[in-house]
Amino acid sequence: MHKIGYFLTNGFQVMALGTQSVFEFANVVAKEEIYQVTNYSLLGGEVKSSAGASINTRQASAAADVDTWMVSGIVDPTASDTSPDELNFIKGAAGRSQRIAGLCTGAFVLAEAGLLEGRRVTTHWAYASVLKERFPATRVEADHIFITDGSIWTSAGLSAAMDLVLGLVEKDLGADIANNVARVMVMYHRRSGGQSQHSQMLKMAPRSDRVQTALEYARSNLAGPLTVDVLAREAHLSERQFSRIFYSETGLSPAKAVEQLRLEAARNMIERGHHSLEIIARDTGFRDRRHLREVFVRKLGVSPQSLRRDAREDF
């Protein structure tokens, strides 16, 4: 059995507890109790979350043979009041366990405990620069969902912590079980650690339902022709109206927006590493593998092969 310990401090982000469902359903999918999850705090007893609700915890000194520690941050890590005793416990716990994870701003707690010096880490995009400024020896890579550096795991926002925990499950039990857990939990897919914190759909942020509908259609039909007339029909607008409104709301032409959606989808598939480049090019609307490479080098400055190699090394 693999023992998971959640170390909670006052004001912990309550959503961190949601990641426990991944371990729960990993047991369900595997049809055996592989993971045992326990909540701890320094002194035990009730600990109040950021939402005001309290949760009962066991005293951390009673933690025996915890294999993986999960450390939650608080909503505003610049206002952290983690005590020296809590930091000393975390530092010692990291040395006694197989691995330790900082969920979202939990990276700040790990950094304060002296665990991140020289490490590649990530955290919520809103505080990435603060983390780098406070701990300059930490190699902050803000545009990642989660990062693994040896026994240290860190995630971006707390929804990304779900991906981190799925990554832990995949590391322990393999891709099939991790993918089945994601399916049971109705997650779109298990995002790889190297995926950007900011999706292209969020970056474009269209205001009108018509442009949003066209973009959703495009994202769901990347392998097909996505010309202006096709998208305009989905938006129930003339081509001229659609192009004008689309640009005013997104700052991009429809063709450029489609290219970015295709690039993002291809990047995600490459990082997950389950398909050949030929299949990825076909399924995301590129003419062929050569066209895929041309766009990657032009837009990202790296080849698809290099991106896949780097993603495997991260994991």
Q: Which CATH superfamily is domain 2-184 in?
A: Class I glutamine amidotransferase (GATase) domain (3.40.50.880)
Three-state SS for 52?
coil
Query: Are domains 2-184 and 200-314 of this chain identical in fold?
Result: no
Residue 232 tokens read as 């305009």
- What is the rounded distance in angstroms from the CA atom of residue 89 to the CA atom of residue 31? 34
**Worst-scoring range by mean pLDDT, 31-35, 231-235, 310-314?**
310-314
Q: Are 315 and 192 within 8 A, CB to CB?
A: yes
Rg (CA), the chain: 22
Annotated domain spans of the chain? 2-184, 200-314
Task: Read off the tokens for 21.
Answer: 């469902």
Could you please state the CATH topology (level 3) that the domain comprising 200-314 is classified under. Answer: Arc Repressor Mutant, subunit A (1.10.10)
| Pair 260, 201: CB distance under 8 Å | no
Question: Minimal CA–CA distance to 17: which of 43, 37, 41?
Answer: 37
What's the pLDDT score for residue 64?
82
Please check whether residue 196 is in contact with residue 143, taking contact to mean a CB–CB distance below 8 angstroms: yes
**Can you give the pTM of this predicted structure?**
0.67
Distance of CA 267 to the CA centre of its chain: 14
Please give the pLDDT value at position 202: 56
Span 182-237, pLDDT tens digits: 888 877 545 544 445 445 555 666 788 888 899 889 988 999 999 999 999 999 99
User: Which 3 state secondary structure label does DSSP give 38?
Assistant: strand
Question: Taking each helix axis from N to C terminus, what angle separates 158-173 and 175-184, rounded to the nearest 10 degrees?
Answer: 140
| Per-residue pLDDT tens digits for 48-73 | 999 999 999 999 998 989 999 999 98
Q: Which DSSP letter does residue 185 get?
A: T
Which residue bears the tokens 């290099």? 306
pLDDT of 140-158, one tens digit each? 987 778 899 999 999 987 7
Rounded CA separation 283/33 (Å): 37
Q: Is pLDDT at 42 greater than 90 in this prediction? A: yes
pLDDT at 198: 47
